[in-house]
Chains A and B, each alone.
Chain A
Amino acid sequence: MAIAAAAHGAPEPDFYHAPSKHKGIFAWILSTDHKRIGILYLFSLLTFFLIAATLGVLMRLEMLTPGKTIIEPQTYNTFFTLHGIMMIFLFIIPGLPAVFGNFMMPIMIGAKDVFFPRLNLLSWWLFLAGGLLALVSVFLPGGATDTGWTFYVPYSIRTSTNVIPALMAAFILGFSSILTGLNFVTTIHRMRAPGMTWFRMPLFVWSLYATAWVQILATPIIGITLLLVAIERWFGVGIFDPSLGGDPILYQHLFWIYSHPAVYIMILPGLGVVSEILPVFARRTIFGYKFIAYSSLAIAFVGSLVWAHHMFTVGMSNTGMFVFSFLTFLVSIPSAIKVFNWIATLYKGSIALEVPLLFILSFIVQFCIGGFTGLMLGALAVNIHVTDTYFVVGHFHYVMFGGTGFGLFAALHYWFPKMTGKMFKKKPAVVSWFMVTIGFNVLYFTMFILGYQGMPRRYYDYLPQFQTLHVIATVGSWILYSGILVMFVNLLISLRKGEKAGANPWGGETLEWTVPSPPPLENFDVVPTVTTGPYDYSKYEAVQEAK
């Protein structure tokens, strides 16, 4: 096909217009092209995100006044469960790897697709199946799950709500995540273009590589654990049920053996996006490339050994508590290495304050706040005071939303011209960034104070003394939610009416900016040969030095 087009002198069509053997929607949902699969993920993922965010806003609204505001207590329980399951398994975990990893990673390493394209499509189908199952479980007789996203036993064995469909959904989504990780590791090992050595890979690819290993090695544990809860419900086997001799704390260990590494599955690609976008808008080579690359691996490794810091108040030996607290502190070292390197990259750069960079700057500040409060939670004495309060909720959202969520918004704006061929309107994008940042901090910083004053998380009702802070947080949620809507509407309008973006609107130096926007079906006419590292801004730096 490429040859035929070249013979007629016409440019090769982009992947949206490439011929397909399927018609209509099937050209999308049966496509094995990594770019189409990335777009499929993007739309399904943002749909789930909007549903889950709406649930979040409704929960905040309920907390506006003590007692009942709009929903019943049981509905509130199902809301926070569904909000957690959807945000974690359907948005943050697949988030950056499934959308931007799929779309960009093969191009960034100079490949034409991922190593197992059909397996890639299967991953998306599993993702969709899991997502729909989670949604359907809400409407089945028995009612939506009310266990919280952690499915703690023995309550998850005893509640009469639809726990099994929710467990199966998480199991299927885990399988999808494993297959994506397996695909990425194989792709990065086997399909790098000539000259694309390990230390010439863009840092986003490094972060995906570290993430993929955690996906492969940690996810099977949650798979078997959730399966056991389902078997427990079906047959009463007794593995976790204390009345039959089972140990519920063992469940918590197994759950967190996966779910703590899973927070690194969520944050590592976000850190990768920062390292990717920062040098482009600072017009400067990233500071400490190797340290950032290795620190991703270090976070992935040490992060796999800290799970029991979720269980300091559950019952553990003092030795165990000291060890897990110490290891938790250790994770902050590679995280801090990244932050210091980012700041050093900005130093003396010629900074262009474009929209992606704005989101990245919010990311860095919020990630630092999330990180420091993480250290507070990792300290044994403080932990006992603030565990299971809004402090934890605040911390988690600062890292996951303030970090990865903002990283996803940054990536969305950064790669939007490449994925669509259109440029978004800048002014509404800046407005949305401002609203999202303000709303986010008003909402979640208030939670730190609430938690520190003793407001427990997941409670439907509260004492009147907490009301002022709850009102502030709820107002924050309105600003945040409106900001998100402004952002999405702006991007949708730009999709139709945006100006044409060239191949390289930001002046990026990585391989995806060398191909047309949107890229053709096979990405490259000729497989590129790589001769330099990813962020070669020496020409800008020379100018800067001269000043």
Chain B
Amino acid sequence: MSSEVATATTQGHTHRDDAGTKLGMWLFLFTELILFGGLFIIYAVYRFSHGAEFELAANELDRLVGTVNTIILLTSSLTVAMSITAIQEGKKNLTLLLVGMTVVLAFAFLLNKYFEWDHKIVAGIYPGSPDLINKPQGVILYFGLYYVMTGLHALHVIIGMVVLVVMMFFVKNGTIHKGSFVRLEAGALYWHLVDIIWIFLFPLFYLLH
């Protein structure tokens, strides 16, 4: 999606319309928000019907791990935003460094998430596990949503990482430069989307009291 640039003709002379490309990207981001919106509706319905059990289940999550991951993602949004300023000033190496830092932070987020999931699974809390099935229905629903929503988010983190690595490649070979950086902007917009969804997931799962 983000590597798509308006090419109005197949016959050589290309016409560029960065505002249009960004409009397309924003529309795509809306669809992503609505995709998660469906899950947020389900969360709202079940939290309304099983409020007390949701709080009980939320105690099982490690708030420190969640906080660390929030800080990591917020920092990565900062670095990717700074990379846009860097490319606007024509600083190629700085751009590469900042996008690279974003990818490293994304990896750190996933690593942290992996250990968190692993910890839960070892403790016998995963969909369909014999331990979980005997718990109250609200707890089953809470962890079902926890795995689905953070899992889908993690998938988006991975997609975002791939997009950013491709952007680094484009910066390196000069496709993205001071005069043309709409692809990097689109990639960064996607990354901010990944960030903002986590900003909602974090309180909904970790800060229930």
Residues of chain A whose beta carbon lies under 8 Å from any beta carbon of chain B: 1-2, 32-33, 111-113, 115-119, 178, 182-183, 185-186, 189-191, 216-217, 219-221, 223-225, 228, 231, 235-239, 244-247, 250, 254, 257, 521-522
Contacts and interface: CB of A to CB of B under 8 A. Distances in A.
21 contacts: A32-B10, A33-B10, A111-B8, A115-B8, A116-B4, A116-B6, A117-B8, A118-B7, A178-B31, A186-B24, A216-B27, A217-B30, A224-B39, A228-B42, A236-B127, A237-B147, A239-B42, A245-B140, A247-B46, A247-B49, A254-B41
A178 B24 CA distance: 11
B128 A231 contact: no
B122 interface: no
Contacts of B141: 238-239, 244-246
Interface stretch (B15-23, B60-68, B80-88): B15-23
A183 B140 contact: no
Contacts of A224: 35-36, 38-39
Contacts of A257: 38
Contacts of A236: 127-128
B27 A191 contact: no
Contacts, number: 120
A65 B64 CA distance: 68
Contact of B19 (A183, A190, A217, A228): A190
Nearest to B151: A231
A514 B52 CA distance: 68
B8 A113 contact: yes
Contacts of A115: 6, 8, 17, 20, 24
A55 B26 CA distance: 41
B34 A221 contact: yes
A2 B10 CA distance: 12
B7 A117 contact: yes
A238 B8 contact: no
Contacts of A237: 127-128, 144, 147-148
A33 to B, nearest CB: 7
Nearest to B139: A245
A186 B20 contact: yes
B37 interface: yes
Contacts of A33: 10
Contact of A522 (B4, B6, B9): B9
B156 interface: no
Contacts of B31: 178, 182, 216-217, 219-220
Nearest to A222: B38
A347 B201 CA distance: 59
A191 to B, nearest CB: 7
Given A237-B144, A244-B137, A521 B11 contact: yes
Given A118-B7, A119-B4, A186-B27, 5 more contacts: A32-B10, A111-B8, A216-B31, A244-B141, A245-B140
B138 interface: yes
A190 B127 contact: no
B28 interface: yes
Given A113-B8, A245-B137, A221 B37 contact: yes
Given A186-B24, A244-B137, A250-B45, A239 B144 contact: yes
B22 to A, nearest CB: 10
A189 B23 contact: yes
Q: How large is the interface on B (under 10, 10 to 19, 20 to 34, 35 or more residues)?
A: 35 or more
Contacts of B111: none
B134 to A, nearest CB: 11
B23 A521 contact: no
A117 B41 CA distance: 35
B138 A245 contact: yes
B135 to A, nearest CB: 10
Interface centre among A115, A119, A225, A254 (most CB of B within 10 A): A115
B35 A220 contact: yes
A224 B42 CA distance: 11
Contacts of A1: 11
B113 interface: no
B32 interface: yes
Contacts of A189: 20, 23
A239 B148 contact: yes
B24 A182 contact: yes
Contacts of B138: 245
A245 to B, nearest CB: 3
A2 B147 contact: no
Nearest to B49: A247
Contacts of B140: 238, 244-245
A183 B127 contact: no
B145 interface: yes
Given A220-B34, A238-B140, A186 B23 contact: yes
Contacts of A185: 23, 27
B131 to A, nearest CB: 14
A116 B23 CA distance: 11
Contacts of A112: 8-9
Nearest 6 Cβ contacts at the A-B interface:
A245-B137, A190-B20, A237-B144, A224-B38, A220-B35, A220-B34
A519 B9 CA distance: 15
Nearest to B136: A245
B97 to A, nearest CB: 30
Nearest to B145: A239
Contact of A220 (B7, B37, B50, B127): B37
Of the candidates A2, A221, A224, A254, the one having the most CB atoms from chain B within 10 angstroms of its own CB is A224
Nearest to A240: B42
Contacts of A190: 6, 17, 19-20, 23
Nearest to B23: A186
Contacts of A250: 42, 45
A115 B8 CA distance: 7
Nearest to B50: A245
Contacts of B148: 228, 231, 237, 239
A521 B12 CA distance: 13
A124 to B, nearest CB: 15
A254 B30 contact: no
Nearest to A181: B27
Nearest to B19: A190
A116 B186 CA distance: 14
Interface string B177-190: 00000000000000
Which of B9, B27, B133, B138 has the most C-beta atoms of chain A within 10 angstroms of its own C-beta? Answer: B27
Contacts of B137: 238, 244-245
Contacts of A220: 31-32, 34-35, 37-38
Nearest to A31: B10
A117 to B, nearest CB: 6
Contacts of A235: 127-128, 147
Contacts of A113: 8-10
A524 B141 CA distance: 58
A302 B126 CA distance: 41
Nearest to A245: B137
